[in-house]
Structures are given as C-alpha cells and as structure tokens.
Structure 1
Amino acid sequence: MTIHKEGYTSLAIVALVIFVANALVHYFIPDATWAVWLTYILSFLLFVTILQFFRNPRRRITTDENLILCPADGKVVVIEEVEETEYFQDRRIQVSIFMSPINVHINRNPVSGTVTFFRYHPGKYLVAWHPKSSTLNERTTIAVQTGQGKEILFRQIAGAMARRIVWYVEEGASVQQGAEFGFIKFGSRVDVFLPLDAKVDVKIGDKVSGGLTVLGRFQ
C-alpha cells in the first residue's frame, strides 16, 4: 500500500502543525510529563488518521466490457429509477455509494470508453445523504460511452466534510476501466446512472470496493 499523491500536501501541513504543537509544549511546559506524553499520543493519532484518508492500496483489477465496476469504496445507499436531467434527459437506474471518512477515497472508472460529457459544478456542502446533495452540492458529472455504444454517467458529490473534488478526465479522453478518474478528499458520495435494462448486482447496504466489486452488467 502506498500514499496517494493527493495526500502529500495535506500530510505535510499536518506534520508541520504537529511539529509546532510539540515544540510549544516542550518550550512552555517542559516539566509537565503528562502534557508532553499526551501531546505525543494525540499527534500520533492525528497523523495516522489523516494518513489513512490518503491510502492507496494495490488492487488487481480485471476488466470486462460487459461489466460495470464500482467507482468507489463505501456503502450502497440508493438504488432507484430516476429522471436524469443533466445529460441523458431520460429515466435511468441510479446507484449511490456513500464514502465515509474511513474509506479509500480514490474514484475509478466503472467502464472503459470515451468521455462524452464533463461538467464541474461549484455548490453547497450539504451532508452526503441529503436528498438535494446530488443537485445542490459541489460536484462533477462525467458520461462515458463504451466501445459497444453503451453509455453511463457518474457523479462525484462533495459533502459536509469533503471540501475538495479532484478529477483527471476531460471530454474526448479515452478512459480505462478501473483506472483512477478522480479523488474526493475525506469522503462523500458517488452516483452512477445506468441504462434501465442494466442488471444491478448490488443491494442497499452492501459494502463495495472501487474497481473490484461488480456494480452491474450491460444486457
């Protein structure tokens, strides 16, 4: 397991804060052994917590043009038929994955193909499970068409804690199934919109892994 590149700056800032905090404790209350050790323990816990936010575990991903892979680690919280109004303008099956702060925060392409649509929307920071978060929060919308002409859409959504969405794709780019397309710092939610005839292979409450769990299948 390695540390994701998106964590380098955050970890450097945390390390600096920890160094300053420990230096101040040693300077002002050097004889208070309990305070020194408490600072050590809290510093260690803080650094380890931030470190796990940015972990990048090695994954052996098997690609298959008929499968739709999960784009993120987390828990399935929504499976329903909805009207997708931003791009498709028709009915789709929405599958939503909630990413908690303890999940891996890397986002992966569910399918291989060409990016046919991309939009970034600045917005609010409602909690990820709020019904309006998918339309009011900061978010990106990405549509990909496979080589077989199948098209899906997926959306990164910021939440109350996740204040920065990172993406690595643009319209016209070719993407590989399972490869990284973005990162949401400190968790939040990813929505996937599938064709109505797709077979969904997960159920609400399932814990899923990005690039490993099969979300659904094209028919």
Structure 2
Amino acid sequence: MPRLRGTTRKTWNGKRYTMRMRDTFIKPMHPEGRKFVAIFAAITVGLFLLSSFLGWIGVGLTVWCYYFFRDPKRVTPIADGLVISPADGVVSLIEKAVPPAELGMSDKALTRVSVFMSVFNCHVNRAPVAGTIKAIAYRPGKFFNASLDKASSDNERNSLCIEMADGRQIAVVQIAGLVARRIVCFVSEGQAIETGGRFGLIRFGSRLDVYLPDGVQPMVSLGQTMIAGETVLADLTSDAPARLGRTD
C-alpha cells in the first residue's frame, strides 16, 4: 500500500504505529469544552459584525479555547510501582505536608509534589497510579494564585484517595487557581481506575498535588516539565534518594 503524504510508520516490538503530521497540530477536544468553544465562536461572529479586527481577535481566542480543552492520547508507562504525573505543567513545589483532612488519611506529613498548570497546558487530569477510589472530598475555598504554597490549604479543591493493590494509598488533589473557577471530577467512590486514566479537569489554570506514600522519594525536580499520563513522578519500589536537577 502506498504511504500517505505527511505520515511516518514506525515498528516497535512487532507493532506498527502511523504518525501523521496533522496529529502534531490537531488534537481531540474533551466534551467539556464544546459549549465553551461554541460560546467563543458565537461571540466571534458578533465581533466580525462590528469590526474585522475584533473578529480576528475572536478567532484567536476561539482557537485558544479549543486547545485549552484538548485531550490528546498519552502513552502511559506500564511497570509495577510507577507513579505517573497527573497533570501537564511544571513542578512548582516539593515539600512535606499532611494530606487533606477530609480524606481521612494519616495525619503524618508526606512528600507532596505540586504540578502547576498554566492556561496554555492541557487540563485533563490523569490517575497517578492504578487502584480503587476510596474517597472523594470537595471543599470550597478561595482563588489565590495556584503556584503559591497557601493555595493547597486555602483554595477550592477536590481531593481523591486512591488505594493500590498492596493497600498503600496516594492522595491527588485538584486545586483551583486565580483564574480557575470550576473543578470537574469524572470518577466516583469505589470505582477502579488504571494508571493514566482520566479522572477530572480544571478550568482555567490551576494545580495538582500528589501525596506520595511514606518513605517514597520523587524522581522529579523543581521546575521540571511534566506530561500527564507519561512522566514518571516516583517509583514505589525504589529506595533511591530524591532526584536533583540542573537548569541549563
């Protein structure tokens, strides 16, 4: 069969993957974004009636809205003990903290890794580990800049406790930010979820906190760029010290 223009075929472990140039630019959109794109598009039509200059600004904002709600496919590493990043963004904090009290977990301080998402990141959130959703707790709050430390305790948040097959638990917390005004959760208590499975979304700009089990050290560094469902955040089977990084 002749190869289509703009495609590349690669084989790995007997499997063939077809890469299309258009896939680099055109990403699937999550259903949550359809009504917002429709609103932006309708406003854009009105702006064109007023001025072509304003109309083209509206086109740019509509395209941005589409990309904000993009939901690209991700290739999640499969191996025992891996903890995967739940969000796209940058590691903004790594510190000891007690998980949200509303989850009913231990009151012992655990290593917390925070991933800050700007308005340009993909905002679909993915499970860091496989397991059962033992608890979900929503708490209203304020809307400080999500990159600030106090955002974890003061901002609106939705917390999940995931219990793994070995009985250990990981908390992952969706935190609203300065612009974000809506936290969406797709899962329910008692539901099983796979590593990298979609569990929620936040609009528009926010943060995800992951509380690692006692004794587990992160394999990421401050300022590191994360990809939801792909970047390895920690390894539960490793006793290596916390990883250091260099900015270049």
Give the TM-score of the pair, scaled to structure 1: 0.91
Residue matched to 1:124:
142
Quick check: 1:65 aligned with 2:80?
A: yes
Distance 1:122 1:191 in 2: 16
| Superimposed CA distance per residue, residues 37-72 of structure 1 (whole angstroms, 9 cap, x where no aligned partner) | x12321221111111111111222233331000000
Please report how far the alpha carbon of residue 213 of structure 1 lies from its aligned counterpart in structure 2 after TM superposition. Answer: 0.2
Per the alignment, residue 48 of structure 1 pairs with: 63
Give CA-to-partner distance per residue, 1:96-138, whole Å, 9 cap, x none.
0000111010100000001111101111111102222112211
1:84 & 1:6 partners in 2: Cα distance?
28
Query: What is the aligned-residue identity percentage?
Result: 37
Determine the C-alpha separation between the residues in 2 that align with 1:183 and 1:64. 25
The residue number in structure 2 matching 1:174 is 192
Aligned to 1:143: 161
Residue 76 of structure 2 aligns with an amino acid whose one-letter code is I
Alignment of 1:57-206 (within 5 A): 57-86=72-101, 87-206=105-224
Is this contact kept in 1: 2:41–2:59, CA < 8 A? no
The unaligned stretches of length 5 or more in structure 2 are: 1-26, 238-248
> In structure 1, what is the equivalent of residue 10 of structure 2?
none
Identify the residue that residue 11 of structure 2 maps to in structure 1: none
1:154-211 CA-to-partner distances (Å, cap 9, x unmatched) read 1000011111100012221111110100001122100000023113110001001001
Q: Hey, which bits of structure 1, 4+ residues long, moved more than 4 A? A: none
* Structure 1 Cα separation of the partners of residues 172 and 131 of structure 2: 13
String of CA shifts for 1:16-43, please: whole Å, max 9, x gaps: 11112222x1xxxxxxxxx42x123212
Please list the CA deviations of residues 64-94 of structure 1 after superposition, one character each: whole Å capped at 9, or x if unmatched.
3310000000000111122335132112000
Match of 1:9 among 22, 29, 35: 35
- Are the aligned partners of 2:136 and 2:161 in contact in 1 as well (CA < 8 Å)? yes
**What is the DSSP-based 3-state SS (H/G/I as helix, E as strand, rest coil) of the residue aligned with 2:76?**
coil
Separation in structure 2 between the aligned mates of residue 60 and residue 131 of structure 1, nearest angstrom: 31
Aligned partner letter, 1:75: V
Give the distance between the partners of 2:77 and 2:233, measured in 1 at CA.
Answer: 14
Aligned residue type for 2:94: I
Distance 1:130 1:120 in 2: 20
Aligned length: 208
Task: Give the Cα–Cα distance (whole angstroms) in 2 for the partners of residues 63 and 109 of structure 1.
Answer: 13
Matched AA of 2:222: I
**C-alpha distance 171-79 of structure 1, shift in aligned 2 (>3 A):** same
Normalised to the residue count of structure 2, the TM-score between the two structures is 0.80
The aligned counterpart of 2:20 is: none
What is the aligned counterpart of 1:39 among 54, 66, 70?
A: 54
1:22 matched to 2:48? The reply is yes
Letter in 1 for 2:203: K
Distance in 2 (CA, whole Å) between partners of 1:54 and 1:4 is 6
